[in-house]
Chains A and B, each alone.
Chain A
Amino acid sequence: MSDKEVLLTIRDLRIEGRADEEWLEIVKGVDLTLHKGEVLGLIGESGAGKSTIGLAAMGFARDGCRISGGTIDFDGIDLRSASEAKRRGLRGKRIAYVAQSAAASFNPAHKLIDQYSEAPVQHGVMSRGEANNDAVELYGKMQLPNPDEIGFRYPHQVSGGQLQRAMTAMAMACRPDLIIFDEPTTALDVTTQIEVLSAIRDIVEQFDTAAIYITHDLAVVAQMADKIKVLLKGEEVEEADTRTMLNAPTQDYTKSLWAVRSHARPEQPPIEAGTTPVVSVKGVTAGYGTLDVLKNINFDIHARRTVAVVGESGSGKSTTARVITGLLPPREGEIQFNGQTLPADYRNRTKDQLRQAQMIYQMADTALNPKQKLRELIGRPAQMYLGLNGKALEERVRNLLDLIELEPDDYIDRLPSELSGGQKQRIGIARALAAEPQFIICDEVTSALDQLVAEGILKLLDKLQAEFDLAYMFITHDLATVKSIADEVVVMKEGVVVEQGPKSEMFQPPHDPYTELLLSSVPEMDPDWLDKLLEERAAGGAGAAVEGAGN
Chain B
Amino acid sequence: MSHILTMIAQRLALGLVTLFVVSLIIFLGTELLPGDFAQEILGQSATPETVAALREQLGLNDPMHIRYLGWLTDIVQGDFGESLANGQSVAGLIGGRLVRTLQLASYAAAIAVPLSLVLGILAALFRNSFFDRFANASALSSISFPEFFVAYILIFLLAGANGAFPSTAINISRGDPNFTEYLHVAFLPALTLTLVVTAHMMRMTRAAIINLLSSPYIEMARLKGMSPMRIIVKHALPNALAPIINVVALNLAYLITGVVVVEVVFVYPGLGQLMVDSVAARDMPVVQGVALIFAGAYVLLNLTADVLATLSNPRLVHRR
Contact = CB atoms under 8 A, between A and B. Distances in A.
B128 interface: no
Given A107-B239, A108-B314, A92 B226 contact: yes
Contacts of A157: 318, 320
B224 A119 contact: yes
A118 B227 CA distance: 12
Nearest to A180: B223
Interface stretch (A56-64, A440-448, A453-461): A56-64
Given A60-B222, A108-B239, A154 B216 contact: no
Interface in B236-267: 238-239
Nearest to B215: A104
Contacts of B318: 153-154, 156-157
Looking at chain B's contact residues, is the secondary structure mostly helix, strand, loop, or mixed? helix
B225 A119 contact: yes
A101 B216 contact: yes
Given A108-B315, A109-B314, A157-B320, A92 B225 contact: yes
Interface stretch (A83-91, A233-241, A418-426, A522-530): A83-91
B311 to A, nearest CB: 12
Interface string B300-319: 00000000000011110010
Interface string B211-242: 00011110111111111001000110011000
A48 B220 CA distance: 22
A99 B220 contact: yes
B224 A118 contact: yes
A88 B227 contact: yes
A511 interface: no
A105 interface: yes
Interface of B: 214-217, 219-227, 230, 234-235, 238-239, 312-315, 318, 320
Contacts of A107: 217, 220-221, 235, 238-239
Contacts of B223: 55, 58, 60, 91-92, 96-97
A122 B234 CA distance: 12
Contact of A122 (B216, B220, B225, B313): B225
Interface of A: 55, 58, 60, 62-63, 87-93, 96-97, 99, 101, 104-110, 118-119, 122-123, 153-154, 156-157
Given A92-B223, A156-B320, 11 more contacts: A91-B223, A91-B225, A92-B224, A99-B216, A105-B220, A107-B217, A109-B314, A118-B234, A153-B318, A154-B315, A156-B315
A93 B223 CA distance: 10
Nearest to A64: B214
Contacts of B215: 104
A510 to B, nearest CB: 37
B314 A105 contact: no
Nearest to B318: A154
Nearest to B221: A107
Report the 5 A-B pairs with minimum CB-CB distance, sorted nearest first: A91-B225, A92-B224, A109-B238, A92-B225, A104-B216
B220 A97 contact: yes
Given A154-B314, A156-B314, A157-B320, A91 B224 contact: yes
A92 B224 CA distance: 4
Counting chain A CB atoms within 10 Å of each CB, the highest count among B216, B239, B313, B315 belongs to B216
Nearest to B240: A109
A105 B217 contact: yes
A313 to B, nearest CB: 16
A17 to B, nearest CB: 15
A546 B9 CA distance: 45
B225 A123 contact: yes
B227 to A, nearest CB: 7
A87 B216 CA distance: 19
A118 B220 CA distance: 12
Contact of A88 (B214, B219, B225, B314): B225
26 contacts: A60-B222, A88-B226, A91-B222, A91-B223, A92-B224, A97-B223, A99-B216, A99-B219, A104-B216, A106-B217, A106-B220, A107-B217, A108-B217, A108-B313, A108-B315, A109-B312, A109-B314, A119-B224, A119-B226, A122-B224, A122-B225, A122-B226, A122-B230, A154-B315, A156-B315, A156-B320
Nearest to A123: B225
A104 B220 CA distance: 10
Contacts of B239: 107-109
Contacts of B230: 122
A62 B219 contact: yes
Nearest to B217: A107
Contact of A89 (B219, B225, B320): B225
B125 to A, nearest CB: 14
Contacts of B214: 63
B271 to A, nearest CB: 38
A339 to B, nearest CB: 43
B225 A104 contact: no
A93 B320 contact: no
Contacts of A119: 224-226
A83 to B, nearest CB: 13
Contacts of A101: 216
Nearest to A170: B224
Contacts of B320: 156-157
Nearest to B316: A156
Contacts of A105: 216-217, 219-220
Contacts of A58: 223
A118 B315 CA distance: 21
A63 B214 CA distance: 9
Contacts of B315: 108, 154, 156
Counting chain B CB atoms within 10 Å of each CB, the highest count among A87, A90, A91, A96 belongs to A91
